[in-house]
């Protein structure tokens, strides 16, 4: 494929495809990794934020005099001190660094303090007197959409933050031709990313008169431009450095206020300010996943072919929009591309409410819609007397085909994934086995998914650049602006460069992203980094190789075409033992008349398209596919659902680091199990009521079985060495697979996440009553 960077064959030093620890594992294990919260700068202050206790209120008066008078307090800032320019994590800019006059959700930032210690800063918060006038709060999309509803934002009369509307093919004709039409409504809950490291930034106006921000982030360059705009600074006057980041899961892209408040405090105090969310604050301020109500209507032939799809989505934006609109796009469209059906219609509304904002989350809207779709296929399969695996298989897009939205399928292991998952869990036999009448009943469920590997929607670019420089000792210094949040991007890029140079991993040093020295990069989201940065790393390595060959050819007086990279580093005359080491070549490249340091840059940008106004266009270079089968046991007395077995078959193109991709698959899976069964950030009267790890229950080891799975290596023609993406695909299936397994076990269909014992019991009760009614 022309757009492929064509990675080299694996050398004997190659770690590609092996199980290797991450390149920074030692630093993490030894406790020497520097998280932003570990930084101590001379004269550094500590920040804290006062948040609104009300879902909607007018700020009548703020008295900060007592707080300012507290010894050790260096600044107390309110909305009056915040820039007049509104900011936003997405296209709409409507939020202030500190609220100006009105608060729109409980948790919104009202005032900020910088003090000598964190304790003093928090004490000062208690001394700030705020007089609020409570305003009517819209706490659900239904309330917000009601005809006489007040507005969350006065300039948004209908409380709609974003609207999606499309119709391709002829949906009505499709339904008319269907043998079975089924409609149901699903709803999903708020999930908190639950990363180990809460959001943290250290901001400082350094000696170069620029604002330097050391922070936990998925994207240094988008952080830089957001901070600059929010604080009314030129972009060039802001420097963002990624510190070791303890997880992101979408929550550390561009929707936090932490970086902005830290920056504001630093600008005002002219001292470094460290602002570390404690866990409660992180629950209050982190964008959680977008709760959606999805009404799905599907038409199928009796063979199980989908012939029409109509979708209506009402998504809860929360008070400010961020990336929630983009998330809703994914819900609305992505799963359409799994199937050959060409009749699709959708209407989706993102609705403002006076609740904490929602936004990017691993899976990015895919999970919500795939919960509905996979549940729907299971239900319709039962109606049609088909195996849902067969329905998935019969509708599946093939390599080389173009989907209803213009997406080009360049590789797919989808069908193998279905086979692997169902076979591994003994699908046919377990579905056929009698369910019995015991207290505990078992069932199996299946779900399938697709995900993108990059997404050309952030303006007309989805590329990445990797730069390499050779040091005098032959060591390679590499730079990329893509962020590692723990998922292993640094290791992946290092592995690729090491493979291309045929050197051990230790010979390559990839520097952490810093907007001053890294090449521009969008950052880590949309499962784009392996694809884009991986290919860029190959291109950069090849650019270096070309320079090395040209130089070595001169030194050895041979033709460049007769040279090859030598195992262990260096350039070798093919079929001879004439070798020049990388150190010799690095020095020779500089130490000659006209010489220069051997440094190169490689950029790769996929040959994708920005979707047009009708949202049509091949926005991703390629796609990951997966299928997951789950077996559960349902306790009919308690309603408790226990996951007994899970097999997740993941078409990630090619596994570049087995340790990392197993970790991604398992981590995504567990996070999905949490969403399916336990996690639900509850908002009552507009207030988060379980914002702590005692009440917000994430899955622990005992609630997860030994996770099983495999990788289908579809060897993508565009991906680096055939790799596509790991990580996000794995979060898309556990919820519907569990819901389907619960139905399989006890005949109760849960369409409202999470699948709590109460809902299961209520379902069993309703079923009993229904049966009773039938029997009566």
Count the Cβ atoms, other than its own, within 10 Å of residue 81. 17
Closest distance of CB 460 from its own copies, Å: 5
* Stretch in the footprint of its own copies (CB under 8 A) among 34-42, 164-172, 370-378, 554-562: 34-42
Total chain residues near its own copies (CB under 8 A): 60
Structure tokens at 688: 């988060």
Closest distance of CB 607 from its own copies, Å: 7
Closest distance of CB 232 from its own copies, Å: 12
Q: Rounded distance, CA 682 to CA 189, Å?
A: 8
The answer to whether residue 550 forms part of the interface with its own copies (CB under 8 A) is no
The arrangement of strands across the sheet holding 273-276 comes to 73-78, 109-115, 45-51, 273-276, 200-205, 211-215, 238-242
Nearest residue (CB) to its own copies, 587 versus 687:
587
Closest distance of CB 24 from its own copies, Å: 7
Q: Rounded distance, CA 455 to CA 728, Å?
A: 13
Q: Rounded distance, CA 606 to CA 420, Å?
A: 30
Nearest residue (CB) to its own copies, 91 versus 101:
91
Closest distance of CB 508 from its own copies, Å: 9
* Stretch in the footprint of its own copies (CB under 8 A) among 24-32, 429-437, 540-548, 748-756: 24-32
Nearest residue (CB) to its own copies, 177 versus 477:
477
Count the Cβ atoms, other than its own, within 10 Å of residue 117. 11
Spell out the long-range contacts of 13-16 with Cβ–Cβ below 8 A and sequence spacing 24 or more: 13/498, 13/499, 13/502, 13/503, 13/504, 13/567, 13/568, 14/495, 14/498, 14/499, 14/502, 15/495, 15/498, 15/499, 15/505, 15/657, 16/495, 16/496, 16/499, 16/656, 16/657, 16/721
The answer to whether residue 516 forms part of the interface with its own copies (CB under 8 A) is yes
Residues 475-504, one symbol each (x = binds its own copies by CB under 8 A, - = not), give: xxx-x-------------------------
- Contacts with its own copies in 158-217 (CB under 8 A)? 206-210
Q: 531: helix, coil or strand?
A: helix
* Stretch in the footprint of its own copies (CB under 8 A) among 40-48, 660-668, 709-717, 765-773: 40-48
Q: Do 215 and 200 touch, CB atoms closer than 8 A?
A: yes
Nearest residue (CB) to its own copies, 594 versus 772:
594
Nearest residue (CB) to its own copies, 234 versus 561:
234
Nearest to 482 by CA among 537, 412, 433: 537
Q: Rounded distance, CA 444 to CA 645, Å?
A: 9
Closest distance of CB 565 from its own copies, Å: 18
Member of 10, 33, 280, 555 binding its own copies (CB under 8 A) = 33
Burial class (CB in 10 A: 0-12, 13-18, 19+), 155: exposed
Read off the DSSP letter of residue 18.
B
Closest distance of CB 602 from its own copies, Å: 9
Member of 109, 378, 605, 680 binding its own copies (CB under 8 A) = 605
Closest distance of CB 592 from its own copies, Å: 5
Nearest residue (CB) to its own copies, 25 versus 302:
25
Nearest residue (CB) to its own copies, 218 versus 244:
244
Closest distance of CB 175 from its own copies, Å: 38
How far are the Cα atoms of 242, 619, 679 from residue 396, in angstroms, in the given order?
Answer: 40, 19, 31
Nearest residue (CB) to its own copies, 514 versus 710:
514
Nearest residue (CB) to its own copies, 134 versus 473:
473
Structure tokens at 286: 């982190």
* Stretch in the footprint of its own copies (CB under 8 A) among 211-219, 341-349, 517-525, 646-654: 517-525
Nearest residue (CB) to its own copies, 25 versus 682:
25
- Contacts with its own copies in 568-597 (CB under 8 A)? 587, 590-597
* Stretch in the footprint of its own copies (CB under 8 A) among 74-82, 419-427, 601-609, 673-681: 601-609
- Contacts with its own copies in 459-478 (CB under 8 A)? 459-461, 463, 465, 469, 471-477
Nearest residue (CB) to its own copies, 434 versus 459:
459
The arrangement of strands across the sheet holding 579-580 comes to 563-565, 571-573, 579-580
The answer to whether residue 34 forms part of the interface with its own copies (CB under 8 A) is yes
Q: 273: helix, coil or strand?
A: strand
Closest distance of CB 593 from its own copies, Å: 6
How far are the Cα atoms of 211, 332, 456, 775 from residue 616, in angstroms, in the given order?
Answer: 40, 13, 12, 52
Closest distance of CB 166 from its own copies, Å: 24
The answer to whether residue 32 forms part of the interface with its own copies (CB under 8 A) is yes
How far are the Cα atoms of 372, 447, 728, 742 from residue 671, in angstroms, in the given order?
Answer: 18, 16, 11, 18
List all residues 6 or more positions away from 126 whose beta carbon is below 8 Å from its beta carbon: none
Q: Rounded distance, CA 262 to CA 257, Å?
A: 9
Structure tokens at 106: 């409980």
The answer to whether residue 509 forms part of the interface with its own copies (CB under 8 A) is yes
- Contacts with its own copies in 233-252 (CB under 8 A)? 234-237, 244
* Stretch in the footprint of its own copies (CB under 8 A) among 117-125, 177-185, 599-607, 632-640: 599-607
Vertex 182, ends 390 and 363: CA angle to 5°? Answer: 65
The answer to whether residue 519 forms part of the interface with its own copies (CB under 8 A) is yes
Member of 12, 42, 438, 575 binding its own copies (CB under 8 A) = 42
Structure tokens at 368: 């919500």
- Note the residues at the interface with its own copies (CB under 8 A): 24, 26-27, 32-34, 38-42, 206-210, 225, 228, 234-237, 244, 459-461, 463, 465, 469, 471-477, 479, 507, 509, 511, 514, 516-517, 519-520, 587, 590-597, 599, 601, 603, 605, 607-608
């Amino acid at each position: 494929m022309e757009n492929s960077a064509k990675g080299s064959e694996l050398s004997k030093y190659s770690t590609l495809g092996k199980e290797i620890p991450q390149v920074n594992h030692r630093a993490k294990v030894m406790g020497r990794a520097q998280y932003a919260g570990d930084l101590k700068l001379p004269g550094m202050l500590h920040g804290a934020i006062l948040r609104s206790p009300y879902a909607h209120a007018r700020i009548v008066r703020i008295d900060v005099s007592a707080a300012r008078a507290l010894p050790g307090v260096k600044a107390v800032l309110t909305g009056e001190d915040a820039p007049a320019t509104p900011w936003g994590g997405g296209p709409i800019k409507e939020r202030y660094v500190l609220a100006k006059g009105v608060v729109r959700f409980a948790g919104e930032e009202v005032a900020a303090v910088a003090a000598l210690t964190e304790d003093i800063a928090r004490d000062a918060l208690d001394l700030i007197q705020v007089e609020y006038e409570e305003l009517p709060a819209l706490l659900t999309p239904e309330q917000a959409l009601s005809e006489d509803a007040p507005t969350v934002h006065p300039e948004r009369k209908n409380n709609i933050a974003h609207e999606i509307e499309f119709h391709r093919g002829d949906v009505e004709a499709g339904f008319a031709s269907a043998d079975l039409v089924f409609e149901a409504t699903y709803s999903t809950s708020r999930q908190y990313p639950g990363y180990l490291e809460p959001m943290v930034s250290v901001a400082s106006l350094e000696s170069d008169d620029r604002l330097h921000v050391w922070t936990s982030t998925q994207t240094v360059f988008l952080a830089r431009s957001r901070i600059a705009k929010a604080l009314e600074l030129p972009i060039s006057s802001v420097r963002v450095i990624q510190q070791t980041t303890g997880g992101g899961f979408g929550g550390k892209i561009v929707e936090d206020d932490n970086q902005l408040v830290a920056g504001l405090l630093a600008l005002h105090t002219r001292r470094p300010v460290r602002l570390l969310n404690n866990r409660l604050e992180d629950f209050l301020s982190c964008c959680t996943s977008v709760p959606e109500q999805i009404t799905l209507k599907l038409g199928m032939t009796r063979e199980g072919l989908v012939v029409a799809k109509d979708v209506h989505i009402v998504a809860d934006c929360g008070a400010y929009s961020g990336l929630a609109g983009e998330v809703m796009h994914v819900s609305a469209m992505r799963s359409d591309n799994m199937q050959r059906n060409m009749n699709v219609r959708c209407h989706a509304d993102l609705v403002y409410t006076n609740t904490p904002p929602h936004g990017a989350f691993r899976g990015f809207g895919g999970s919500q819609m795939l919960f509905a779709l996979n549940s729907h296929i299971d239900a319709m399969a039962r109606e049609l007397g088909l195996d849902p695996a067969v329905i998935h298989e019969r509708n599946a897009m093939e390599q080389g085909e173009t989907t209803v939205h213009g997406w080009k399928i360049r590789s797919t292991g989808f069908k193998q994934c279905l086979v692997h998952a169902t076979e591994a869990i003994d699908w046919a036999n377990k579905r056929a086995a009698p369910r019995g009448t015991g207290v505990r009943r078992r069932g199996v469920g299946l779900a399938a998914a697709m995900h993108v590997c990059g997404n050309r929607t952030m303006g007309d670019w989805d590329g990445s650049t990797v730069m390499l420089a050779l040091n005098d000792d032959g060591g390679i210094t590499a730079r990329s602006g893509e962020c590692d949040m723990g998922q292993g991007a640094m290791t992946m890029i290092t592995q690729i460069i090491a493979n291309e140079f045929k050197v051990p991993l230790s010979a390559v040093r990839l520097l952490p992203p810093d907007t001053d020295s890294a090449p521009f990069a969008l950052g880590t989201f949309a499962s784009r980094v392996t694809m884009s940065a991986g290919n860029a790393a190959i291109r950069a390595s090849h650019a270096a190789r070309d320079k090395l060959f040209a130089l070595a050819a001169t030194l050895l007086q041979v033709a460049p075409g007769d040279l090859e990279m030598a195992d262990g580093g260096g350039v070798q005359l093919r079929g001879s033992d004439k070798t020049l080491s990388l150190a010799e070549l690095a020095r020779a490249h500089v130490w000659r008349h006209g010489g220069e340091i051997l440094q190169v840059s490689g950029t790769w940008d996929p040959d994708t398209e920005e979707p047009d106004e009708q949202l049509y266009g091949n926005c991703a270079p390629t796609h990951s596919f997966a299928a997951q089968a789950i077996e559960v046991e349902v306790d009919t007395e308690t309603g408790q659902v226990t996951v007994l077995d899970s097999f997740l078959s993941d078409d990630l193109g090619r596994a570049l680091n087995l340790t990392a991709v197993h970790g991604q698959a398992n981590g995504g899976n567990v996070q999905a199990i949490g969403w399916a069964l336990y996690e639900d950030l509850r908002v009552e009267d507009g207030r988060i009521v379980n914002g702590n790890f005692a009440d917000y229950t994430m899955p622990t080891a005992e609630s997860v079985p030994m996770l099983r799975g495999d990788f289908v290596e579809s060897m993508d023609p565009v991906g680096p060495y055939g790799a596509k993406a790991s990580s996000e695909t794995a979060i898309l299936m556990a919820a519907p697979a569990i819901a389907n397994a619960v139905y399989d076990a006890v005949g109760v269909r849960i369409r409202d996440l999470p699948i709590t014992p109460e809902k299961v019991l209520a379902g069993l009760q309703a079923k009993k009553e229904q049966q009773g009614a039938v029997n009566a």
